[in-house]
Structure 1
Amino acid sequence: MGAYSLSFNFYAASCPSAEFIIRDIVTSSSSNDPSIPGKLLRLVFHDCFVEGCDASLMLIGNNTEQTDPGNRSVGGYSVIESAKRLLEMLCPETVSCADIIALAARDAVGIAGGPMVQIPTGRRDGMVSLASNVRPNIVDTSFTMDEMVKLFTSKGLSVLDLVILSGAHTIGVAHCNAFRGRFQEDTKGRLTLIDKTLDSNYAVELMKQCPASAMASATVNNDPETPMVFDNQYYRNLLVHKGLFQSDSALLNENSTRTMVKDFANNQQLFFVNWSQAFLKLTSVGVKTGNDGEIRRTCASTNA
């Protein structure tokens, strides 16, 4: 990062309506398709953890980040592109795709009932997008606590940030194969639960929604209780062993993180206040500012 840094109201003079336009597009897209907030939230994680928050995930081509299997189910790109097209007409070559992603994810949380976080802007778009950078930098749903802590620490994020940002799983959907490792399939294609940290009744529900034949294509809600609402239900689900992923259940394995889970399960306001701080940190990971990167004219390709 250069001598420059992000600032609040970065576009106040150059494109004063930028944040309104992005919010408007996220709002209308979400009312047409209720799965959009969850997709936008996932998009910002997968962008920021690889090469920093620089929209490298938006670049299309051979061996780009989008081509890695870990990113195949990421969605919401069209919302970012819609906002970009409109902003290019109003303020050409001014608002970065990286800022659009961060602001859209922020707005997605607000639209789904979560806190509206003020975030600084001024990110620039990266020029590098490699599939080979994806795996070492994103959390796999089968990760242990140690593996997650190591990855988050490498991004400048704390164990507390890890527990808070895992709360993003209060909205969105997951493909069945993302938690496939918790079940075993017999020769007749029947599933049985092998992960004893999962509530057995919840496991039965999951097996109904995810027959072995549909593992790759079917999806389930991350939060079985309030799947469209950004709230603290995720933490309540964890306490009754209804965390969808192994990486969710892992938060209960250590006293310190279990205590955090209980605190957020008992106090939604506490979760929201902490979310605002952690989201600010997430959207500042590895940002490019000043003379680093560029302002792409279209999010799918570099300007060169």
Structure 2
Amino acid sequence: MKLHQSFLLSNFKLILSALIAVLLLSTPSASQLSSDFYSLSCPNVELIVRDTVRSASEIDSTIPGKLLRLLFHDCIVEGCDGSVLIEGNGTERSDPANKSLGGFYVVESAKRLLEFWCPGTVSCADILVLAARDAVEQTGGPSVEVPLGRRDGVVSSASNVRPNMVDTTFSVDQLAQRFTSKGLSMDDLVILSGAHTIGSSHCNTFSDRFQQSSGGNMVPIDNTLEKNYAEELARKCSADASDSTTVSNDPVSPFKFDNQYYGNLLANKGLLNSDSVLATDARTKSKVEAFSKSEDSFFTSWAESFVRLSSIGVKTGNAGVIRFSCTSGI
């Protein structure tokens, strides 16, 4: 009898060990991102975020552009860790470069829903990546499968913004240096700049291309801008325009994610200096020309570059936390 019990116990231990091994192999590694990271813990995460973005965009058509910009401003500073979402004095969000960001409430709304259905499971960093991904698809852009499993950062400092942020007055050399420092290539620079096919910019972000006359009007001083386009911008950003006045990044199809941005650059209608220089530098012009001719090529390249952008400096495993609220550091 004792021998029989010992045999059964031994077999039970072997079976248990085998089951544990199978579970470990079927569970996504905490140290890596995976497209099915939440398949067991929160299978509806993508549906919830997608519906939240769609509902917000139906009310406010500027939301997709804001979400895409919000992701870039998050990833380019501390990596894609949701630190730009944290409110408070001295945070990334408080820096002047981030004062014009929007769409925060969309991420927070999705987080509240996910905390109800899958408490303590989905990071704000992953929600932001999904929201930006969905913003592109819902405005006509490509569908992108993004790996998930990011964890949230708890450090958010305004002092980290300026040394990492891209400025609208940058030359191609400066842009390339900033992108290279984040592990992105020159091609990524041209591709990701295509995000400006949607969204808008405040007048002060391209004020260096104009000069204020004695009468208070804006006078174009940048001869690289197409004349009629420059005059149109001057009217929209006249002396009596408010500080909150914005202009669409793409004057042709401002709410559609397409390849029109590149055609605009070749027509000298790039809104920002950091846009225009891409069409005049030999290192980037050929890619601009190629994308202006083929939207399929742009979309294919976008999917690849977007994944690289959303993987910058990610925190996984024990390197981060799952914040209860995206606007707070806890």
- The TM-score range, normalised by the shorter chain, is over 0.9
SS in structure 1 of the partner of residue 177 of structure 2: helix
Residue 284 in structure 1 maps to residue 329 in structure 2: no
Which residue is equivalent to 1:157?
Answer: 184
How far apart, CA to CA, are the structure 2 residues paired with 1:108 and 1:43?
11
* 1:3 Cα deviation after fit: 7.9
2:48 corresponds to which letter in structure 1?
I
Report the number of matched residues: 302
Which residue is equivalent to 1:274?
Answer: 301
1:63 corresponds to which letter in structure 2?
G
Within-5 A mapping of 1:137-176: 137-176=164-203
Which residue is equivalent to 2:7?
Answer: none
Which residue is equivalent to 1:131?
Answer: 158
Which residue is equivalent to 2:290?
Answer: 263
Within-5 A mapping of 1:83-232: 83-214=110-241, 216-232=243-259
How far apart, CA to CA, are the structure 2 residues paired with 1:212 and 1:92?
50
Contact 2:218–2:237 at 8 Å: present in 1 too? no
Residue 11 in structure 1 maps to residue 38 in structure 2: yes
How far apart, CA to CA, are the structure 2 residues paired with 1:71 and 1:10?
30
SS in structure 2 of the partner of residue 220 of structure 1: strand
When normalised by structure 2's length, the TM-score is 0.90
* 1:138 Cα deviation after fit: 1.1
1:245 corresponds to which letter in structure 2?
L
The structure with higher relative contact order (CA 8 Å, sep 6+) is 1
How far apart, CA to CA, are the structure 1 residues paired with 2:231 and 2:160?
36
* 1:253 Cα deviation after fit: 2.5
1:259 corresponds to which letter in structure 2?
S
Residue 302 in structure 1 maps to residue 329 in structure 2: yes
SS in structure 2 of the partner of residue 121 of structure 1: coil
What RMSD in Å do the two structures reach over aligned CA positions? 1.1
SS in structure 2 of the partner of residue 25 of structure 1: helix
1:22 corresponds to which letter in structure 2?
V
How far apart, CA to CA, are the structure 1 residues paired with 2:182 and 2:260?
27
* 1:187 Cα deviation after fit: 2.0
* 1:126 Cα deviation after fit: 0.3
How far apart, CA to CA, are the structure 1 residues paired with 2:32 and 2:291?
32
**For structure 1, which runs of at least 5 residues remain unmatched after alignment?**
none
Which residue is equivalent to 2:55?
Answer: 28
Counterpart of 1:293 (choices 306, 317, 320) is 320
1:124 corresponds to which letter in structure 2?
R
2:323 corresponds to which letter in structure 1?
R
How far apart, CA to CA, are the structure 2 residues paired with 1:3 and 1:148?
33
SS in structure 2 of the partner of residue 174 of structure 1: strand
Which residue is equivalent to 2:17?
Answer: none
How far apart, CA to CA, are the structure 1 residues paired with 2:76 and 2:239?
31
2:117 corresponds to which letter in structure 1?
L
User: Which protein has the larger Cα radius of gyration, Structure 1 or Structure 2?
Assistant: 2
How far apart, CA to CA, are the structure 1 residues paired with 2:223 and 2:30?
51
Contact 2:36–2:147 at 8 Å: present in 1 too? yes
Counterpart of 2:268 (choices 234, 241, 245) is 241
How far apart, CA to CA, are the structure 2 residues paired with 1:38 and 1:178?
16
Distance change (3 Å), C-alpha of 1:82 and 1:62: same
How far apart, CA to CA, are the structure 1 residues paired with 2:91 and 2:329?
12
Residue 68 in structure 1 maps to residue 100 in structure 2: no
SS in structure 2 of the partner of residue 275 of structure 1: helix
1:227 corresponds to which letter in structure 2?
P
1:153 corresponds to which letter in structure 2?
T
* 1:271 Cα deviation after fit: 0.1
Counterpart of 1:46 (choices 67, 73, 83) is 73
* 1:216 Cα deviation after fit: 2.2
* 1:192 Cα deviation after fit: 1.3
* 1:105 Cα deviation after fit: 0.2
Contact 1:176–1:215 at 8 Å: present in 2 too? no
* 1:188 Cα deviation after fit: 1.6
1:14-47 CA-partner distances (Å, limit 9, x unpaired): 0000010000100111111110000000000000
* 1:62 Cα deviation after fit: 1.2
2:220 corresponds to which letter in structure 1?
L
How far apart, CA to CA, are the structure 2 residues paired with 1:184 and 1:249?
18
1:149-188 CA-partner distances (Å, limit 9, x unpaired): 0000000000000000000000001101110000011222
User: Equivalent pairs: percent with the same residue?
Assistant: 58
When normalised by structure 1's length, the TM-score is 0.98
